[in-house]
Every structure is written in structure tokens, then in C-alpha cells.
Amino acid sequence: MSAIEIPPGPPGPEPASEPVLVVRAEGHAASRWYRQPALVAGLVILAVVVGLALAAPLITSYNPITQNLSESLLGPSRQHLLGTDQLGRDTFTRLLYGLRLDLRIGFIAVLLPFCLGIVLGSLAGYFGGWMDTTIMRLVDVVVAFPFYVLIIALVFVLGPGERSIYLAITLVGWVAYARIIRGEILVAKRQDYVTAARSGGLSNVRIMRRHLLPNVISQGYIYAMSDIVQVILAIVTLGYLGLGIPPPTADLGSMINDGQNFLSTHWQLTTIPGLVVVVVGLGLSLTGDGLADLLRPGQ
């Protein structure tokens, strides 16, 4: 209703009907990701690394664990691109298979704490009260220990192996996700759309799953992208300390450790796997930062 009564005059045109759609905001995420040099560089590195790891059986005909003692500690050559180790295994082959294993463990070991942390963080943030207190005290307990101390202690107790690594990293890693998601939910649950969902008679579980999580989960993705670097480093560290995948399976950490004894004569045995770890970490970091910039709200 207009503020001033308009006297009945010549009938003007009907008020123009309102625009239905507003134009999509410039720079929609999907249309500008390739303009970020860091993200592109990271994605290229990752593509190469993951491609090499996946195609390992096609690239090399050697078996990563079959020993050939008559050809131990050879230098780089046509047959052995990076030489062989003390047990005569092709270093390049072991590098590819080790990369394959570490990447696989890394991705799974990020996914598990991601899921656990998001579920617990949502519960704590949404319901509050005793649930929040209990979950956040658990978080405090885990945070009170340095990351590696707790991981190494857990793996030591559980015994080396892939399952122990998953378990240890999940038990330690979920806290970061829980904290992030709890904080986001605390803010989001006061928004009108949550009140609107409640006044639509939706159950708490549905509100959390369908209305809150889709709005807050991007913060979890952003953290996961930086977390995966840390997790892969942790796996390599565990391998280096002899707490990772038991021999003879190839793993970058145990390769670095094995090569240490020959550092003065065969430096490539240790240095090349180390450099590969650096390159993988770089690729993941660049990708993570780039994605974070894209996903961060309001940009």
C-alpha cells in the first residue's frame, strides 16, 4: 500500500511486474577456477603424481617386492631408471608402488576423521547441553597431546599395519573437524532458515542433514585439503619409524629409512623418495589453498 493515496486519475499502466530472476553474480566459482595459478599448478602436480601412481603396473614391468640379490645397489641405468636397492629391487618401481599405497592410505585416512568429526561436531553444535560438553571435553583431551605423540603411541599399541594407521589417525584427526563444524553450526543454527525449517515441522536429524550441513560443510572441505598433507606426512613418518606398513611392501617412509644406511654411496635411495614426498605435499597444499579461496564464502 502506498504511503500517499493517489486521487483517481487517468488509469496509468499496471505497476511493472517485478523481475523474476536476478543475474548470476559475476565470477561464479565454476567459471573462474582456472584463473588461479596456484590451484592450476597444484592440480597439474596432483594429476601427474596420481596418474603415475595409478599407472604403475603399466609404466614398469618390475615387481616392487621381488628381490634379486645379484643386482643389488646398482646405479641408475637404462634397465633401472633410479638404480636398485640393497635387495636388488628396482627403486623406480618401488617409488611408484609406494606412492600408490601412501596416496590411498592418505585419502582414506582423511575421509574417516572427516566423517567422524563432522557427525560429532554437528551433534555438539546443534543440540548443545550435555552432548556439547561431553564431545568438547573429549576434544580437549585429544588436543592436549601433541599430534605425533598420540599417533605413534596409538600405532605402537595397536601394532603396525594399515588398519592401525586408519584407527590412530581417525581417533586423533576428528577433533579438528568437530571443532570447525561445531563453530559453524553454532552460527548457522541461529539463521532464519533453520527457524523456518523447524516451523515446517522437520525433525532434528533432517534439519541437520538437509539444511545445516550443506551450508557448513565447505569449511570441512577446506580443512580436509590442508589436513591431507599432514596425514600423508604422518604416514611417511610412521613408515620411516618402522611403524607403518610392514616390509616388504613399498612405502615412501620405509624407503627413506632403508636408504639411509647407504646415504654416502647411494644418495638417490633416500633423497628421491624424500623429494617425491615434498612434491606431493606441494601439490596438495597448492590445490587446498586454491580450493579454499574458491569455497570461502563472500568471495
Partner 1 sequence: MGTVTGPVSASILEVRDLHVRIASRRGIVRAVDGVSFDVPRGGALGLVGESGSGKSMTLRAILGVLPAEAQVTSGEIRLDGVDLRQLRGSDINRLRGPKMAMIFQEPMSALNPVTRVGWQIAEGPQVHLGLSRRRAAERALELMRRVGIPDPERRFRAYPHEFSGGMRQRVMIAIALSCDPEIILCDEPTTALDVTIQDQILRLLTQLCRESGVSLVFVTHDLPVVAQVCHDVAVMYGGQIVERGEVRDVLLDPRHPYTLGLVRSAPDFEYVRESLVPIPGSPPSLVSPPSGCRFHPRCAFAEDDCRTSQTPLRPLPGGRFTACLHYERTLEAVEADRACP
For binding to partner 1 (CB under 8 A), which residues are involved? Answer: 1-5, 15, 18-22, 24-25, 128, 190-193, 195-203, 206, 210-211, 214-215
Q: Which amino acid is at 272?
A: I
- Residue 26 or 146: which CB sits closer to partner 1? 26
Q: How many CB atoms lie within 10 A of CB 29?
A: 12
Work out how close the CB of 174 gets to partner 1 at its nearest, in angstroms, rounded to a whole number: 24
Q: How far apart are alpha carbons 295 and 236 in whole angstroms? A: 29
- Residue 67 or 218: which CB sits closer to partner 1? 218
Q: How far apart are alpha carbons 43 and 286 in whole angstroms? A: 8
Long-range contacts made by residues 116-119, C-beta under 8 angstroms, separation at least 24? 116/170, 116/174, 116/177, 116/178, 117/173, 117/174, 117/175, 117/176, 117/177, 117/178, 117/179, 117/180, 117/181, 117/220, 118/177, 118/178, 118/181, 118/213, 118/217, 118/220
DSSP 160-183: SSHHHHHHHHHHHHHHHHHHHHHH
Give me the residues paired with residue 90 across strands: 84
Work out how close the CB of 225 gets to partner 1 at its nearest, in angstroms, rounded to a whole number: 19
- Residue 66 or 195: which CB sits closer to partner 1? 195
Work out how close the CB of 117 gets to partner 1 at its nearest, in angstroms, rounded to a whole number: 20
Work out how close the CB of 137 gets to partner 1 at its nearest, in angstroms, rounded to a whole number: 21
Work out how close the CB of 223 gets to partner 1 at its nearest, in angstroms, rounded to a whole number: 19
Work out how close the CB of 191 gets to partner 1 at its nearest, in angstroms, rounded to a whole number: 6
- Residue 32 or 163: which CB sits closer to partner 1? 32
- Residue 10 or 15: which CB sits closer to partner 1? 15
Work out how close the CB of 24 gets to partner 1 at its nearest, in angstroms, rounded to a whole number: 7
Q: How many CB atoms lie within 10 A of CB 196?
A: 11
- Residue 4 or 58: which CB sits closer to partner 1? 4
Q: How many CB atoms lie within 10 A of CB 204?
A: 13
- Residue 35 or 190: which CB sits closer to partner 1? 190
Q: C-alpha grid cell for residue 83? A: 638404480
Short-list 71, 72, 119, CA closest to 216: 119
Residues 72, 85 contacting (CB under 8 angstroms): yes
State yes or no: cis peptide before 57, omega within 30 of 0: no
- Residue 195 or 271: which CB sits closer to partner 1? 195
Work out how close the CB of 221 gets to partner 1 at its nearest, in angstroms, rounded to a whole number: 13
